[in-house]
Amino acid sequence: MYTATTGGQEDIALLTINSDNMDSCEDPESFETPDEQTEDLETLTFDDLLSFAFQVARGMEFLSSKNCIHRDLAARNVLVTNGRQVKIGDFGLARDIDNDSNYVVRGNVRLPVKWMAPESIFQGMYTMKSDVWAYGILLWEIFSLGVTPYPGIKVDHMFYSMIERGFKMECPYYANETVYGMMRKCWALDPANRPSFSKLVSFLCDLLVDREENLYQNTISRTSSDYQNASTIVDMSALTKASEEKKTQATNDYCQTCATEEKRAETCDGDTVADEKELLKPSDAE
């Protein structure tokens, strides 16, 4: 199991499934490159968490297609490999329900109550829809970065009473309203009102595609904005240069005009002095 670090959070173990290679038993460490090791230490993003949720849904959709229920779907039973691929593990409680869609557990067995659907807790019934409930709890774990479900609440008669009345956990810190709405649908008291894993896969796929398209549009807009800003800067530079050239030319013209006036003044002064000297000369008659 690998750990991922998130800003402001302690190291957490997240889980992963690759439904295209369910039977792979290769040791990921033997194929891990330095770049992949660096990737595992990078900060997780919302899209990473959404991808984990999508991959788990794909894996559970595969199990459903094989008429198999997991019965212990939780973050502790999901592994994240290099490349942030998800693998579902720990099938110790899994059952083939091909001939019995309402598998009933009998006897006194230690069970993961906080991940169990109401019909599993109170009636001992496990179906694909009870796995959907557990998937909703897993989503809460993912988007809270590994916090234990129902934090601060002990599993006692008060807890059972809350679940029976339809109590639902609040939205985890890193989930948005869309993802939280999907969790709440998974926690419907009536199993028939819970979505199938196929619908969950489709829903999450649409979310990922929308975010990819928004990212592309934002990139295009940012590039266009940068180009326009660059053009504006060029235009401003050209205007500034033209303005400076005009100022320089005006200064030169002013200096040239002043020089011409001074030269004219000197010429006039010379002529005046010459005239005065001429007047002061004694005439020949005198």
Which CATH number does the domain housing residue 115 bear?
Answer: 1.10.510.10
Mean pLDDT of all residues in 10-30: 41
Is residue 29 in some structural domain? yes
Task: Residue 15: count other Cβ atoms within 10 Å of its Cβ.
Answer: 27
Look up the domain containing 182 and give its range.
Answer: 3-195
Is residue 242 in some structural domain? no
Is residue 170 in some structural domain? yes
Is residue 119 in some structural domain? yes
Give the number of domains in the chain.
1
C-alpha separations of 238 from 231, 234, 244 in Å: 11, 6, 10
**Are the CB atoms for 143 and 49 separated by under 8 Å?**
yes
Is residue 222 in some structural domain? no
pTM over 0.75: no
Which residues pair with residue 126 across a beta bridge?
Answer: 103
- Helix 177-186 vs helix 128-143: angle between axes, to the nearest 10 degrees? 150
The C-alpha atoms of residue 83 and residue 72 are separated, in whole angstroms, by 25
Look up residue 93 and give its amino acid. Answer: L
Q: Which residues are catalytic?
A: 72
pLDDT tens-digit readout, 243-271:
667 666 766 666 676 666 666 656 655 55
Is residue 120 in some structural domain? yes
pLDDT tens-digit readout, 181-232:
999 999 999 999 999 999 999 999 999 999 888 877 777 777 666 566 655 6
Higher pLDDT, 130 or 218: 130
Is residue 254 in some structural domain? no
Is residue 47 in some structural domain? yes
Band (pLDDT 50/70/90 cuts) for residue 7 is very low
